Amino acid sequence: MRLRVLGSGSSGNATLVESAGVRVLVDAGLGCRELSERLDAAGVDPASIAVIFLSHEHQDHARGAAAFSRKWGARICGSRGTYAAAGLGAEDTAGYDVLEPGMPRAVGALSVRGVPVPHDAIGPLAFVIEADGCSLGHGTDFGHVSRGLADGFQDCDAVLIESNYDPAMLREGPYPWPVKERILGSRGHLSNDDVARYLLRDLGAPCRMVLLAHISQNNNHPELARMAAETALRRRGRTEVRLELTGADGTDWMDVAPAAGASRGPQQLRLW
């Protein structure tokens, strides 16, 4: 399995995930044309995207979803709440499938499970994507790491998690106080400190890559996010974990692979 972030942050979020020729997007927060161009640049035919998994209805995640779905035939999949809140009528998309809690959706070799997260949207989700005997946890936009999310990501080989703001920069920054309160709240966004706490307490043993995403351009600095996460990983003795950051321009392809020697059930068994 491999992934490529096409864009991350308030200007638009989208991640491409691929395994055995099957491709899905997590979020489509860029306009349809921009999204199509970024896929082209990655050498990917937009028509080959099978499903867009929508985390929630906010524009920086959903902006291009309906238009992209209509143009290229990708179905959309997300919670019942996202469907209602995004205002997607039957004629607006190539089809919408509700992701029921605890019920994974299979797309070819990929299996995608929704994990509810605390965010000020209707029915927002993080996703656990499995294929090839390895898994990716993909979570942005939540105010704290709930028990359910920490447990949901426990067995993941790679975790993409938002590191949205530095608390001091947010408090001293230009946003009006009600907006600051919203971001700081338990259903707002995750700070660098929250991520550090997650890495210290809850990062699962199989994880070999952490990708920091949705880093605010106004209330954070990539180096502050990196430092907080690096320090936490070092304190936890997890220096084998590769730490990456992504911004508005996304990333190159990144492989998600299980840790060497890890046993993952029948797919990993070799019978001599």
Q: Which is nearer to Zn ion, 19 or 79 (CB)?
A: 79
Give the nearest distance from C-beta 229 to Zn ion in angstroms. Answer: 19
Q: Which is nearer to Zn ion, 217 or 267 (CB)?
A: 217
Q: Which is nearer to Zn ion, 141 or 194 (CB)?
A: 141
The encoded tokens of residue 100 equal 């029921």
CA–CA dist 108, 113 (Å, integer): 14
The stretch among 19-27, 37-45, 60-68, 257-265 that binds Zn ion (CB under 5 A) is 60-68
The stretch among 50-58, 70-78, 79-87, 191-199 that binds Zn ion (CB under 5 A) is 50-58
The footprint of Zn ion on this chain (CB under 5 A) covers a number of residues equal to 3
- In three-state secondary structure terms, 44 is coil
Of 31, 32, 33, 39, the C-alpha closest to 6 is: 39
Taking CA 149 as the corner, what is the angle to CA 12 and CA 107, rounded to the nearest 5 degrees? Answer: 65
208 near Zn ion, rule: CB under 5 A:
no
The β-bridge partners of 130 are 111, 135
Q: Which is nearer to Zn ion, 152 or 188 (CB)?
A: 188
Using Cβ positions, the residue closest to Zn ion within the complex turns out to be 58
58 near Zn ion, rule: CB under 5 A:
yes
The β-bridge partners of 76 are 52, 96
Q: Which is nearer to Zn ion, 141 or 166 (CB)?
A: 141
60 near Zn ion, rule: CB under 5 A:
yes
Inter-CA distances, 243 with 44, 112, 175, 180, 255, Å:
26, 24, 29, 28, 13
150: phi then psi, degrees, rounded to nearest 5? -60, -45
Q: Which is nearer to Zn ion, 58 or 208 (CB)?
A: 58
The stretch among 20-28, 51-59, 75-83, 252-260 that binds Zn ion (CB under 5 A) is 51-59
Selected binder of Zn ion within 130, 141, 166, 194 (CB under 5 A): 141
Taking CA 61 as the corner, what is the angle to CA 70 and CA 183, rounded to the nearest 5 degrees? Answer: 160
User: What residues make contact with Zn ion under the rule CB under 5 A?
Assistant: 58, 60, 141
